[in-house]
Amino acid sequence: MSADESEFASPTSGQPATAGQRLAAAREAAGLTLAELSARTKISERHLGALETGDFAALPGRTYVFGFTRTFAKSVGLDPAAMVDAMGRDYSRAAPEPEAPASPAFAPGDPARVPSSRFAWMAGFVLLVVAIGGFIWWQNNSSATDSLPSLIPDEVPSQAASAAPSEAPSEEASAAPTGPVVLTAQMDKLWIKVSDAGGKQLVQKVLVMGETYTVPEDAQGPTVWTGRPDKLAITVGGQDVPPISKVPEIVRNVPISAKALLERGKPAPAATPPAEPIPGAANAPVAVPSPVAAPRPLRHFPRPRPAPTADAPAAPATPSTVTP
């Protein structure tokens, strides 16, 4: 008989005490109450008392019994492994039940902290409802999508063929140079100032002979200010473009984007020629309108008088005036 077993042996039978009795004796020897031990081990007093009395029916199960025993033994100064073996023998004699072997790395604590079976059932029910709702939603959307007719009309081959030439880029557009705008000084001490469309200054410096400045490609509406545009060479994508001016003068806020410079280099559209005269039109006779005859004046004739009757003497005749 070992020292631990002889110390906690039963005084009546002479047999070693149970594991629960040994735990209780060790707790009392340490001067701990069940409440103090519960606060130290985080195990409820009800479960600690059940371990001491061997009431395995009040405990959650075999795995919890071993976990509680190991924690109890450590707290009262006993060998955890020896007490777990002793408690296992007591548990097998009191309430044998087949259980799946527990993972050795899992040491349960207070069962009150473990989610209950009711919570697990509720969580499973919620997940099932969500899955069914998602399936119904997917079925409705997929069926509605399959049944709807296409709103895009079929392409007409003739229209596609006619649109093809217009979509093709012209040779002139493809031949236009692209790339960064580079300013090169062709004289010493050439002052320039470059700004963007918002007035933000990009650079202001004095260039030496042959020094270059590349306009940032992300600059919006860049412009230049200088006093010697005739000595400022400009290239777009490595291709020379006409200078801003051919004489020394002060130019300010002149656009120097690639598009603006290329537009400056394009020739001006030719003026529309005047209409050519028709041959022989100069010698053709000109029709002269005939004069309109003036209206002739109207003549006033005397109104005829009635002839005199036999009873009344004839009135002397009054001379009438005839309008020539």
Tell me the pLDDT tens digit for each residue of 230-255. Answer: 988 999 888 898 988 989 999 888 99
Phi, psi of 201 (to 5 degrees): -75, 125
Per-residue pLDDT tens over the stretch 268-316? 565 555 556 555 555 555 555 555 555 565 555 556 565 555 554 455 4
pLDDT at 292: 56
Residue 83 corresponds to which tokens in the numbers above?
């007490």
- Reply yes or no on whether the pLDDT at 175 is more than 80: no
Residue 9 per-residue DSSP state: B
Bridge-based pairing of strands 232-236 and 251-255 is unpaired
Out of 46-50, 92-96, 104-108, 294-298, pick the least confident. Answer: 104-108
pLDDT at 11: 43
- Reply yes or no on whether the pLDDT at 322 is more than 50: no
Out of 89-98, 197-206, 209-218, 291-300, pick the least confident. Answer: 291-300
Average pLDDT, whole number, for the chain?
A: 74
Residue 101 corresponds to which tokens in the numbers above?
């072997």
pLDDT at 241: 84
Distance CA(112)–CA(30), nearest Å, equals 27
Residue 199 corresponds to which tokens in the numbers above?
């007035």
- Reply yes or no on whether the pLDDT at 151 is more than 60: no
pLDDT at 195: 92
Which amino acid is residue 169, in one-letter code? P
Model confidence at 35, pLDDT cuts 50, 70, 90, reads very high
Cα angle 9, 49, 109 (rounded to 5 degrees) comes to 115
Q: What is the mean pLDDT of residues 118-127?
A: 89
Distance CA(195)–CA(208), nearest Å, equals 20
Distance CA(58)–CA(51), nearest Å, equals 9
Residue 69 per-residue DSSP state: H
pLDDT at 28: 92
Report the candidate in 174, 171, 175, 183 with the shortest Cα–Cα distance to residue 261: 183
In the numeric block, the tokens 């270059």 are attached to: 212
